[in-house]
Chains A and B, each alone.
Chain A
Amino acid sequence: MKRAQQVHRAALIEWGRLQPESVVLSGDLTAPCEADGFQQAYPDRFISMGLMEQNMIGFAAGLAREGFVPLVHTFGVFMYRRALDQVEMSVAYADLPVRLFGFLPGVTTPGGPSHQATNDIGVLRTLPNMTIVEVGDATDIEGLYGLSRQVAGPLYVRILRGEVPRLFPEGMDLTLDRARVLSRGTDVALLTSGVCTEEALRVTPLLAAAGLSVTHLHVTTLKPFTDPQVIEAIAGAALGVVTMENHTAIGGLGTCVADLMAERGLGKRLLRISLGDRYLQGASQPYLMENYGIDAMALVRAVEALAGAPTGISADELVAAQASDFAGEVQLEAL
């Protein structure tokens, strides 16, 4: 699998070139959020806000009211947890075009619960006016500027840094409320998001080899959640539906899909692979994915449960299908 480095860093510089009214705000996490390139390219449009997330969110709201497009950079936890009232009252209530880049979703950092954004989608989905997008590869990240142009109000981006996979062709647009189609089939509808899409791609060829036909959608927009492709995939799945996400059990992709199925009367089994209703711990991404149940084997077991029969896929086969190296030492330093 192709991989890319510091994709947001380059994309943000290009964003700044394309949108002169964009300004970057950073909460003392400029290089760790890959905003240092923008800072160097456009120093007069870079605003250092220090460790003041509440003030930074309000400051961004004021800039948005003046016609700027504020691109707020810090770790996700410091926005949706620490500054939630500010995100609500200063930004979402006023429906302002502030872009919040929330880094370190779930298992992507060994920094422990203080740094791991594990319930950000669940919390922020409850905010009126809020649009929520999660990226899973380099092409998603490069498509964020185009996506931002489709969103009039506030936008939260659950974003990845450092080394990321390239799952989709370069230059492919990221469209609001439209999943990316990875395969089409008739037995199982598999809906994955964020880093779970890459993990699922280790499994899907083995499922096909085992004779299971899978519609696999990579979901990027978590709010709104009205994509007709998702409805179609669920309606056409003979055995049922599996969701897989780097998020706690409540409020994320699995909840979105459950709500949709109930409202549309799509009477199927739904198995939801998530981090569970719990906090994580400080550990590596492979360790966390395995121990909190969002790894390739968890997906194999879910599909077997739907099929009511073993697939014959072994742990050794999954190891052989290892798609990538995970975060290296360089990324650990930037907490």
Chain B
Amino acid sequence: MATPSETAAPDGMGANWTTHCRRMADGIRRRALAHTIVHGGYLCQACSSAEIFALLYGHAMTLGPSDGPMVPPPYEGWRETKDARTTGMVYNGARAPGLDRFFVSPTHYALVVYAALIEAGRLDGAALDQFNTDGSRVEMIGGERSPGHEVNGGSFGQAISQAAGVAWARRHRGDAGNVWVFLGDGELQEGQTWEAILSMGFHRLDNMIVVIDVNGQQVDGRMEDVMGMEPLVDKFASFGAVAVVADGHDLDALDAACATPHEGKPLVVLAYTCPYQGIPILEERYPLLHYVRFRSEDERERYREQLARLEAGGAAQ
């Protein structure tokens, strides 16, 4: 197996990709924090998954250039659904046999997706000004018209089945490109997720790579208190996947995990992450981190100070 540094990087950056992805990950957290300070939001998801999205968009996935406008046009709602449908997948580049496809299942991560697109040069920074505003496709919980989204996730466990159908079709056609799926760990409690993994193994969909943000968090708190799932890696292996564990904040480790050979089977990368990585002040709220809503102006001010430190290029404290 080729080590990550020997692999011809699709980004064309060679060994410099880690520096690039490190900057992207920092940018994702910074943008999510800046947005959360004004509006509140899904900040912990950005903390845990920043490196995953930076790696996917900055290095691991082979995508064509974005076909989407840098500032997304308004969303016409139901009027768009029949004739003039604009899908968010254009931000991931054209459909082509040799290119990869990307499916986000927990679309509560939409803010992270948008921030990653901005960091990847596929979306203008101003697009976040539209986030969760009336008439915008930059929705809080993304739909298929939202930048970077190809299907309707959000109802957990559904995107992976749809991605498996796409992967079956692509293999049937002989496409060389991979199908990447991003999952949260909470949705591993959905039965459909396991139906999908079983069927991917049974149908030998080795063109699929599933990356899971194992941040151990769900709405009610710690997964181990709500409905513990460990040991996860054994479950995926027994369901017919090649499953590997990686430190989800270590770009080299993540990249190596994504390059694990998996002939005849789908690959599942369990990226173990910290839900307040990079913004330690969030730990005060642990374990209730699903959605950040400030309780006071004073608290908001302390987050502003963290952001100022991040923007100055230092580590948050």
Q: Give the B-binding residues of A (Cβ under 8 A).
A: 44, 47-50, 52, 54-68, 70, 85-86, 89-90, 93-95, 129
B144 interface residue, CB < 8 Å from A? yes
In the complex, what residues of B have CB within 8 A of residue A90's CB?
Answer: 151-152, 158, 161-162
In the complex, what residues of A have CB within 8 A of residue B82's CB?
Answer: 95
Contact assessment for B152 and A59 in the assembled complex, using a CB-CB cutoff below 8 Å: no
Q: Identify whether the interface residues of A are mostly helix, strand, loop, or mixed.
A: helix
Q: State which of A56, A68, A94 has its C-beta within 8 Å of the C-beta of B151.
A: A94
Query: How many B residues face the partner with a CB closer than 8 A?
Result: 32
Contact code string B142-162 (vs A, CB < 8 Å = 1, else 0): 001000001110110111111
The 5 closest A-B CB pairs, nearest first, are A62-B165, A58-B161, A66-B169, A55-B195, A52-B195
Contact assessment for A54 and B157 in the assembled complex, using a CB-CB cutoff below 8 Å: yes
Residue of A at shortest CB range from B82? A95
Q: Give the A-binding residues of B (Cβ under 8 A).
A: 81-82, 144, 150-152, 154-155, 157-170, 172-173, 191-192, 195-196, 198-199, 202-203
- Contacts beyond the supplied A54-B161, A55-B198, A66-B169: 16 A-B pairs with Cβ under 8 Å: A50-B198, A54-B158, A54-B192, A58-B158, A58-B164, A59-B161, A62-B151, A62-B163, A64-B165, A65-B150, A65-B166, A70-B165, A85-B155, A86-B192, A89-B152, A93-B152
| A170 CB to nearest B CB, Å | 34
Contact assessment for B81 and A95 in the assembled complex, using a CB-CB cutoff below 8 Å: yes
Residue of B at shortest CB range from A60? B165
Bound: A48/B144 CA distance, A: 28
Q: State which of B81, B155, B198 has its C-beta within 8 Å of the C-beta of A89.
A: B155
Contact assessment for A59 and B162 in the assembled complex, using a CB-CB cutoff below 8 Å: yes
Residue of A at shortest CB range from B165? A62
In the complex, what residues of A have CB within 8 A of residue B159's CB?
Answer: 58
Bound: A48/B163 CA distance, A: 17
Between A and B, 24 residue pairs with Cβ closer than 8 Å are A50-B198, A50-B199, A50-B202, A54-B157, A54-B191, A55-B198, A56-B161, A57-B161, A58-B158, A58-B160, A58-B165, A59-B199, A61-B151, A61-B165, A62-B162, A62-B163, A62-B164, A62-B166, A63-B165, A65-B150, A68-B169, A90-B151, A90-B161, A90-B162
